[in-house]
Structure 1
Amino acid sequence: MKKVLIVRASAIGDIVFASPFAEAIKKTYPDAYISWLMEKGNEVLMADSPYVDECIVMPVSEWKSLWKNGKKLEAIKKIRAFGAELKARHFDVAIDLQGLLKSGIFAWMSSAPVRIGLGSREGSQWLMNKVISRAGESHRISSEYLYLAEQLKLDHNHFTPSLSLNSQSEKLALEKLAAHGLHPGKYVVFAAFTTRPQKHWFADAWQNMAPMVKEKTGLIPILLGGPADKVAAEEIHSGAQDIINLVGQTRLAEAVAIVAHAGALIGVDTGLTHMGIAFDIPTVALFGSTCPYTNTTRDNAKVIWLGLPCSPCRRKPTCNDRFDCLREITPENVMTTLESALKSES
């Protein structure tokens, strides 16, 4: 492995899970040049990693915009040109960690003589030389990527998510915190938002959680999220003035830095929550409709999952939107778990 292309373009949480894979390659092949292909915006997650030499940005949103606006020929030309750029880099190995047709196409377009797919489907398996199934200990964080590392005989002795900070983004993040009277280690991040309602804890639960955390730990709760989460954030904030609402006010790289400097994190199954584990801060992760990792590999990271018969339902809830798997997780339960995580930290 002299020149390696890793393809894991999205989503944020999955990139966090996959982060130790680059380290495993680098430890096994110290002279390898590792490039990571990801969608625009996500590159901040791995751009400062000591194990990734280069992030290649894939402007998917630009291509989609051209296609939707009737400029299909131009979109196709740009995609082909991007593929030609990949081919010109002369990769020895392309590893598709995403396993979808769209990711497999770019691994194939790289013309790497060895193309390895993780659980490849949707036809992408026909674009690979070798497909390795998604397996491993399902309740361990990053298990499928660890299994792939084992199958490829990579050094996997330390295989836990880890991220590095961009110094400029870290500076901006600390300035934003200071503007709200917040200091490193003195706040708790509430990572309340994700892509599907069946993964969300309830607004009233967060509202009840805020004063409880502040009183028992002295940590100031802050809400983090993207622009699409503003309405939901306002609903939570309207009933809990103890919370500082930073939703939509930070770029991804700044949010990463805010998580890294937090005293603790409470969150649902979303990228920001998994970052808490990557940065080794006390973390409580709430799972319901999705399959949990109960083995976080860190003593200060705890998972709450009730294991109801209907859970995980993934994208097909059967509870008529009651989401009992999360409703039955109480703020008191979360507080007890957080105190345990904080105790493990000390």
Structure 2
Amino acid sequence: MKRILIVRTSAIGDVVFASPLAAALRRSHPDAWIAWLVEPGIDALISHDPAIDARILWPKAEWVQLWRSGRRIELWRRVRALRAELRGHHFDTVLDLQGLLKSGVLAWLSGAPTRIGLGSREGSQWLMTRVVPRGGDVARISSEYLHLAQQLELDTGDFMPALHVAPEADARAQALLTEYGLVPGRYAVFAAFTTRPQKHWFEDAWQTLAAKLVAQTGLTPVLLGGPADAHAAASIAAGAPGLINLVGRTKLPEAAALVRSAGLLVGVDTGLTHMGIAFSVPTVAIFGSTCPYTNTGRANALVIWLGMSCSPCRRNPTCGGAWTCLRDITPERVLEDVARVRSA
């Protein structure tokens, strides 16, 4: 492997999980040129990774909009432009970490003679020269990517997620902390939101946790999220005096920097929570309808998952919206694990 392309275009959590693969490739092939194909915005997660030489952006949202508006000729021009860009790098190996048709087509467009897919399906297996079935210890964070690295006989090291914050993003985050009178290490990030509401903990639970956390630890709760989470965040903040609501105030790089400087993170199955583990911040993850891992790989990070017979249900709940798998996780239980991760 001399010129390597990693294809993992989204989502935030999945890119965090896949991040140690770049380091494993660098250790095993120190002279290789390594690029990562990723969607705009998410590329901020890998922009300062020393194992990655270049980011190549796939503007998926723009392509979808062109298709929906009937501008097929312009879309075809964009496809050809990306193909030319990819082929101009003369990749000899592509690793398709998503294993979907869309990622398989992107890998195929590169023209690389070796195209390795991880658990390829949806027809993408026919675009690969080799398919590695998904495997590994499903309880461990990043397990499927560790499995792929082992199958490729890479130097895996500890194979833990790792992120790197850009200095300018860190400066903006520190300015935001100063604006709100917050001190690094003396606040707790609440990562309460995802794009799938069945992964959410309950509003009253966050409010109770906020009050009890301040009393028990002295840490100031700070709520992070995107603009789409603003209404839900305002509802939580209205019943949690002392909580700082920064939802919608940060982009991904600044949010990552705020996570890195936190003294604690409590969150659901969402990208910000996984970032806490990547930055080795004391983290308590609350999982219910999904459970991507239970073994965080770090002593200062724990997962609360009740393991009910109906869980994980992912997108097919049977509880009629009761979400017992999350409702039965109490703030008191979370605080018990907060004490454990902070003392680890």
Q: What TM bracket, shorter-length normalisation? A: over 0.9
Distance 1:124 1:188 in 2: 42
Tell me, in whole angstroms, the C-alpha distance in 1 between the residues paired with 2:245 and 2:160: 30
In structure 2, list runs of 5 or more residues that go unmatched.
none
The 5 A counterparts of 1:228-307 are 228-307=228-307
* 1:208 aligned partner: 208
State the SS of the aligned residue for 1:249.
Answer: coil
Specify the SS of the correspondent of 1:48. Answer: coil
Q: Which amino acid aligns with 2:37?
A: L
Aligned to 1:29: 29
Aligned to 2:112: 112
Match of 1:62 in 2: 62
Match of 1:321 in 2: 321
Q: Could you report, residue by residue, the CA deviation over 1:95-153 in whole angstroms, capped at 9, with x for unpaired residues?
A: 00011100110100000010000000111000000000111000000000000000000
What is the aligned partner in structure 2 of residue 333 from structure 1?
A: 333
Quote the residue 2:128 is aligned against: 128
Residue type at the aligned position of 1:239 = G
> 1:154-209: CA deviations, max 9, x gaps?
00121000000100010001101110001110100000000111100000000000
- 2:145 is matched with 145
Q: Distance in 1 between matches of 2:26 and 2:105?
A: 25
Segment drifting more, 65-74 vs 7-16:
65-74
Q: Which amino acid aligns with 1:164?
A: H
Q: Does the CA-based 8 Å contact 2:273-2:285 persist in structure 1?
A: yes
**Distance of 1:144 and 1:152 partners within structure 2:** 12
Further displaced range: 285-294 or 125-134: 285-294
Which sections of structure 1, spanning at least 5 residues, go unmatched?
none
Q: Residues of 2 paired with 1:288 and 1:186: CA distance?
A: 28
Q: Tell me the secondary structure at the aligned position of residue 175 of structure 1.
A: helix
Cα-Cα RMSD: 0.7
Please name the residue that 2:191 is paired with.
191
Q: After the TM superposition, which of the residue ranges 143-152 and 284-293 deviates more from structure 2?
A: 284-293
How far apart are 1:291 and its partner, in Å? 2.4
Query: What secondary structure does 2:189 align onto?
Result: strand
What is the Cα deviation at residue 70 of structure 1? 2.0
Q: Which runs of 4+ in 1 moved over 2 A?
A: none
Determine if contact 2:269/2:291 at 8 Å carries over to the other structure. no
Corresponding residue of 2:77: 77
The answer to whether the 8 A contact 2:221-2:243 is kept is yes
- Paired AA for residue 161 in structure 2: P
Q: List per-residue Cα deviations over 1:235-259 (Å, max 9, x = no partner).
A: 1111112210000110100000000
Residues 214-268 of structure 1 show CA distances to partners (whole Å, capped at 9, x for unaligned) of 1111110000001111111111111112210000110100000000000000000
Matched, 1:309 2:309: yes
Q: Distance in 1 between matches of 2:56 and 2:4?
A: 12
- Determine if contact 2:291/2:305 at 8 Å carries over to the other structure: no
Instruction: Deviation per CA, 1:257-313: give whole Å up to 9, x if none.
Output: 000000000000000000000000100001101124111110000000001111110
**Counterpart AA for 2:313:** C
Secondary structure in structure 1 of the residue aligned to 2:291: coil
Work out the CA distance in 2 between the residues paired with 1:274 and 1:2: 31
The two structures have a TM-score, normalised by structure 1, of 0.98
Residues of 2 paired with 1:156 and 1:78: CA distance? 36
- TM-score when normalising by structure 2: 0.99
Q: Which amino acid aligns with 2:308?
A: L
Distance in 2 of aligned mates of 1:223 and 1:216 = 18
1:38 and 2:64 correspond: no
Structure-2 separation of matches of 1:291 and 1:340:
21
- Aligned partner of residue 10 in structure 2, secondary structure: coil
| Paired residue secondary structure (2:188) | strand
Name the CA distance, whole Å, in 1 between partners of 2:241 and 2:10: 34
Contact 1:292/1:305, CA 8 A, preserved across alignment: no
Compute the displacement of 1:333 (Å): 0.1
